[in-house]
Amino acid sequence: MSPPAARPAPYVSYPRSTSEPRTDAALPDPTPLLHNLTQGVLEVIAGMRPVEHLARWMSEPAFRSIVVRANLAARARSARGIPAATSAVVVTTVRCTWPADDVVEATVIVAGKARTRAVAVRLEEFRGRWRAESIAML
């Protein structure tokens, strides 16, 4: 079975929880970051990319959890004698919710060769930009 065809992910952003938009230094739209961060995390776990590439965009606990998961995946590949392969996953949907002005909770749907998975990401404002506080692959 061939991997799904690459196509741009539809970005769905639900309305913010407050009626007034933020008036001070507005943060950029988080959906491109969510798309690229999720793709990067999947590439790290697949062994295609060093985990250090993602450090700038994650808090320390989120970064440590990805490091642990990537190390476990590398050990599993080594035990089976499987080399790191190119990532055959495609981000299909990004859905955002805004519990607060400086917090975004998102679900990113990724389709792979054998299955479709969901990745839950929580972004929070950090020094005028978005930073991932939590990433969970379901």
Per-residue pLDDT of the chain (138 residues; tens, 9 = 90+): 445 555 555 556 555 544 444 444 588 999 999 999 999 999 999 888 999 999 999 999 999 999 999 999 999 988 988 877 776 788 999 999 999 989 999 999 999 888 899 999 999 999 999 999 999 998
pLDDT, residue 21, reads: 45
Q: Which two tokens stand for residue 3?
A: 């991997």
Residue 125 falls inside a structural domain: yes
CB 103 within 8 A of CB 123: yes
Q: List, in sequence order, the alpha helices (H) in the chain.
A: 31-46, 60-80
Residue 98 falls inside a structural domain: yes
Q: Domain count of the chain? A: 1
pLDDT, residue 87, reads: 66
Residue 5 falls inside a structural domain: no
pLDDT, residue 9, reads: 55
For the entire predicted model, the pTM comes to 0.79
Residue 4 falls inside a structural domain: no
Residue 40 falls inside a structural domain: yes
Per residue in 16-31, pLDDT tens? 544 444 444 588 999 9
Quote the CA–CA distance of 80 and 75 in Å, as a whole number.
9
Residue 43 falls inside a structural domain: yes
Q: Which domain range does residue 102 map to?
A: 11-19+28-137
pLDDT, residue 88, reads: 75
Q: What CATH number did the domain enclosing 83 receive?
A: 3.10.450.50
Residue 117 falls inside a structural domain: yes
Residue 51 falls inside a structural domain: yes
The DSSP output letter for 83 is: P
